[in-house]
């Protein structure tokens, strides 16, 4: 049983927008965004970087895919 609660409707409009984007796109995972939202500064820092790197296209798609594979291998994800 999980012991960390999910923040699903933060008061901060910026965090609420990041959670909405995560729900809409599925990335980053909404559950992890809801956990990060316990510490708003962490949620903002992560989300701003995510937006710049992954959504706004600072990285080429092939490098993004390589990052995804690396993370999957690192955590031994078989998906």
Number of neighbouring beta carbons within 10 Å of residue 20 = 12
Whether residue 78 is predicted with pLDDT greater than 90 in this model: the reply is no
Residue 53 maps to a domain: yes
Mean pLDDT of the chain: 89
Nearest to 28, CA basis, from 44, 13, 46, 12:
46
- The domain containing residue 19 runs over which residues? 13-74
Residue 6 lies in a domain: no
Within a domain: residue 51? yes
pLDDT confidence of residue 23:
95
Number of domains the chain contains: 1
Mean pLDDT of 16-32: 93
> For position 58, what pLDDT does the model report?
73
Lookup result for tokens 């990060």: 36
pLDDT of 76: 86
Q: How confident is the model at residue 48 (pLDDT cuts 50, 70, 90)?
A: very high
Percent of the chain with pLDDT over 90: 53
* pLDDT value at residue 67: 84
Question: Residue 79's pLDDT is what?
Answer: 66
Kindly provide the residue ranges of all beta strands, DSSP E only, lying in 1-79, ordered along the sequence. Answer: none
Residue 65 lies in a domain: yes
Q: Is residue 37 part of a domain?
A: yes
Q: Single out the residue of 46, 2, 42 nearest to residue 21, CA to CA.
A: 46
């Amino acid at each position: 049983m999980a012991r960390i609660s999910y923040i699903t409707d933060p008061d901060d409009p910026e965090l609420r927008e990041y959670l909405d984007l995560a729900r809409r796109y599925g990335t980053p995972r909404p559950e992890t965004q809801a956990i990060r939202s316990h510490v708003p500064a962490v949620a903002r820092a992560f989300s701003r970087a995510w937006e710049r790197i992954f959504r706004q296209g600072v990285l080429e798609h092939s490098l993004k895919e390589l990052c995804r594979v690396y993370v999957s291998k690192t955590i031994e994800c078989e998906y």
